[in-house]
Structure 1
């Protein structure tokens, strides 16, 4: 007899613009990315994956795309970015804002917010004086001219006309200690980027990242941690700029940001807002559930996927987010048994004696004597058994999912939490790419009661 399915596809019942994936390992992320993005690729949608995690989470997805004849575009960063024209797709004012925003997120959260304004002004001054291309090395050289007044090797990187324009702008930016510190800081960041080993090909135009039926990987990896961090933020804000300008075809694809913990809550909320406006679905992979991220989880128009969280505090926070429910717990069981045995014996003895005499006329007379005795012995036995059983239950308000369960989930296991029409929906699933080959797998989701 054919057995009923035990495994069903998990589908979102809502249409969230943002999905947060929290916790998990590289293998788990790779499985989830493949099972979620694979069907979208085969449907002709565009997918852009910005990989900041330094884990090869897109290898299986790239293999799947190639096996179906789908174009795979990979950019290795910072190599392809270090010597590319950063102004491609930007006006000078937009590039100054984007670079200043990327660099400002590297500062502590309590840093002076006016520093970002100063960075914009300094970068805009350099960009207005340069004729292009706006490479990292040329921007660093322009900042050096403002800092040193045109002395040093930086002048050889720029044309004479550019050097003259920058020298004329020195008085405009001023020579205060604050300005000099910012010039040194900005020059150091851009100079560090320019020193990355050049890749074989420059980074393609960001407007070409988003093409129907194409998978684009932006892989950020570098042995210099500061340069890698800077590259992540520049790429993130370039994506944000193109979302804001509406250069991604709305409703036609997926933007995935992998390893976004270090980018900060404000930056992620900003991207989510512009992705929603552009009609692009955003998926953000976060390794940790830190305090600043806890405030954004479960926001409007979003769903959450929780994977393994080894840290006890993060697991407890995730369990609290999933919620509590009433449970009936048996806390007392009683059982009594007893028996009663009755055993008895009785004896009786009786004796009876009598005589009869009859007389008449003549010789007719008679007499008789009778004697009777009786004995009786009796015994009786009875057995009575009794059993009484009872239990006492109390209602408790406990975690729907215990924190320890989140800490010990398999690498590809997950919990989907979303707001649905019937109420909050919590579904347990597995994103292993080989799941489709398991026994008793259904082609259709189990949605009768809202659970998949």
Structure 2
């Protein structure tokens, strides 16, 4: 069954919803925002401008700066020089009309390139800047439009998600386990809250019997709310109001004997069987002598009569007293059984007025049998054992619908009694809930018979036992982290921009004259044949003489002009960046507690950790909040948490 969210009525209306099925231990919290589906679209990103626009702006900027800083000054300088030359030439003539107009025209022509190029480059720079600004505005406008549309879609998505999740409850009921539940730990205030939450929801389905052995009446709030809801409530406070209790009114004499004997010896399994048998025989004989009117008061008086003690009471008639004292047992048997008689009488004596004046209100839909805060003596211990025997007898002998049973303070009970009570409830389908303050001795032996819940266990030994019961799990945990992060970044910007303009004008002129004049004369005689000096015949002789005179004249005139111009500039930019990192995680398989003992030691007051067996094996852990005031909150359902509605499909 699944309940809807709590209405927005008053607190009393909401408290009334505690009495709604099905039986629950408390509530489980589930944040509805866990099911929030995030907006799937990524936010728009502003795209950068095309690189060519910025590049064009930079290029036109450099061009305009170069023409303005170099070309224009050179042109204007040359024009100025020519104008100065023209002015000096005009000053050399007396007639103004003789000013060299050609020089002025040359000056104007020299100034024109610088002016035109500079003006053109400035215009190009302005056009590039305007184009860049226009593109930037268009990009910004488009990005803003996309961002507004994305934001609108996101807000619409979040509104739809909030509307979808606002109908989800956040607190759902934690159902009671099917048969038996053992609760360990907790404070008395936590027990009171648990009894209120569990008891009110159980009363909406079936009757409830509460054995409050805490001696602090933790069932008071449950009884008061049930009375306000118009239910029949039977509250019996023991031992202060034991005379009006109807605890043993529905038990036969033999059942009463069994309850008394089991109460006396059930907590000591090593007790001699002979002692138990003798006590049972004595009580059975006395009950047979008392007839159908068997009460604890009449039993106590009969025991005193057997021991020969004086008794001024009128609970026994004279014939009953005489029969019991003289005819029921022989003198020898009474002598041998005197110790048994004394023990039974000392046990029954504090309880002899139990049920002496039973109330006539009848059985209640909610029955609370509670030990009050004054029950700190042997009478309360005897009552505790007798109450358990009465409950076990009632469940075993019941033929009608049996109420659900809660025992608060089960630490006081013997393990044998608890096991018998648990078996009787299990066979007859009676939901049984046992509340133990500590996890030791009897409670430690009883754990595991059904579902188990842990509240705050302040003692470290109790918490360690609970953690051992919950068990351990294998898991991988992070055992070591190694991180190495390194980076290097270097920026190198080298800008070398130089201008070297050199103009060399050289004129050379060479004029020279050279003259060369000369005269040469030559004469000679040659002889051939015969002997030298004419001593021999057949000789020939010749004689030659010449004269030569010449001259040359040369004139040279050389003129040369040389002009050279050189310009240079350079720019260099360098950028380097590097980053390196490494992450190393080491995990280790460990076998650790599923719930640490320190966690159980510090649970909140109304927190309850429910441990149940999973259908496929293993166990499930559920964190439950048993505070009944949760019903007054918004988004609370009286049934299990429903499945969240499916998210709408994306178009």
Q: Which bracket does the TM-score occupy, shorter chain normalised? A: 0.7 to 0.9
**1:91 Cα offset (Å):** 2.9
Please name the residue that 2:236 is paired with: 75
Paired residue for 1:63, among 205, 224, 242?
A: 224
Q: CA deviation at 1:82?
A: 4.7
Q: CA deviation at 1:189?
A: 1.4
Query: Which residue is 1:190 aligned to?
Result: 348
Residues 320/134 of structure 1: CA separation in 2 closer, same or farther (3 Å cut): same
Write the distance in 2 (CA, Å) between the matches of 1:155 and 1:259. Answer: 36
Q: Answer yes or no: is the 8 Å Cα contact 1:82–1:136 preserved in 2.
A: no
1:430 alignment partner in structure 2: 625
Distance 1:71 1:54 in 2: 23
2:358 is the counterpart of 1:202: yes
Report the Cα distance in structure 1 between the residues aligned to 2:271 and 2:314, rounded to whole angstroms: 35
> Contact (CA 8 Å) 1:87, 1:134: kept in 2 or not?
no
CA distance in 2, matches of 1:34, 1:85: 24
Which TM-score applies when normalising by structure 1?
0.80
SS in 2 for 1:295: helix
- For residues 636 and 415 of structure 2, the distance between their equivalents in structure 1, rounded to whole angstroms, comes to 39
User: Which of residues 404, 410, 414 is equivalent to 2:608?
Assistant: 414
Deviation at 1:204, TM superposition (A): 6.3
Partner of 2:406: 256
Sort the Cα spacing of 1:74 and 1:442 in 2 relative to 1 into closer, same or farther, 3 A: closer
Where does residue 218 of structure 1 map in the other structure?
A: 369
Q: Paired residue for 1:327, among 441, 457, 475?
A: 475
Return the alpha-carbon distance in structure 2 between the equivalents of residues 194 and 329 of structure 1.
Answer: 64
Rg larger in 1 or in 2? 2
Q: Secondary structure at the match of 2:483?
A: strand
Tell me the C-alpha RMSD between the 2 structures. Answer: 3.7
Question: Residue in 2 aligned with 1:373?
Answer: none
The CA deviation at 1:343 is 11
Deviation at 1:244, TM superposition (A): 1.4
Deviation, structure 1 residue 223: 4.0
- Residue 171 of structure 1 corresponds to which residue in structure 2? 330
Q: Which residue of 1 aligns with 2:183?
A: 21
Report the equivalent of 1:162.
320
**Distance in 1 separating the partners of 2:251 and 2:340:** 23
Q: 2:431 aligns with which of 281, 285, 303?
A: 281
User: Are 1:41 and 1:215, in contact at CA under 8 Å, matched by a contact in 2?
Assistant: yes
Q: What is the correspondence of 1:11-160 to structure 2 with a 5 Å cutoff?
A: 11-12=175-176, 16-43=178-205, 45-82=206-243, 88-105=249-266, 108=268, 110-131=270-291, 133-147=293-307, 150-153=308-311, 157-160=315-318
Contact 2:210/2:405, CA 8 A, preserved across alignment: yes
Residue 154 to residue 142, structure 1, CA distance change in 2 (3 Å)? farther
Q: CA–CA distance in 2 between the matches of 1:180 and 1:85?
A: 31
User: What displacement does 1:288 show?
Assistant: 1.4
Q: Which structure 2 residues correspond to residues 211-360 of structure 1 after superposition, within 5 A?
A: 214-221=365-372, 222-250=374-402, 253-299=403-449, 302-339=450-487
TM-score after normalising by structure 2: 0.57
Task: Measure how far apart 1:266 and its partner are.
Answer: 1.4
Structure-2 change in CA distance of 1:342 and 1:80 (3 Å): closer
CA distance in 1: counterparts of 2:280 and 2:301, whole angstroms: 17
Instruction: Give, in whole Å, the separation in 2 of the partners of 1:326 and 1:204.
Output: 61
User: Conserved in 1, the CA contact under 8 Å of 2:606 and 2:627?
Assistant: yes
- Measured in 1, the distance between the counterparts of 2:600 and 2:292 equals 52
Structure with the largest fraction of helix: 2
**Structure 1 residues 446, 215: closer, same or farther in 2, change over 3 A?**
same
Q: Per-residue displacement from partner, 1:157-214 (whole Å, max 9, x unpaired)?
A: 522221222122232882465x322211111111122378x99x52669xx54x6xx1
1:371 paired residue number? none
- Give the secondary structure class of the aligned counterpart of 2:230: coil
Tell me what 1:357 maps to: none
Contact 2:180 2:431 in 1 (8 A): yes
Q: 1:268, CA displacement in angstroms?
A: 0.8
Whole-angstrom distance in 1 between the partners of 2:378 and 2:343: 13
Cα gap change, 1:234/1:203 in structure 2, threshold over 3 Å: closer, same or farther?
Answer: farther
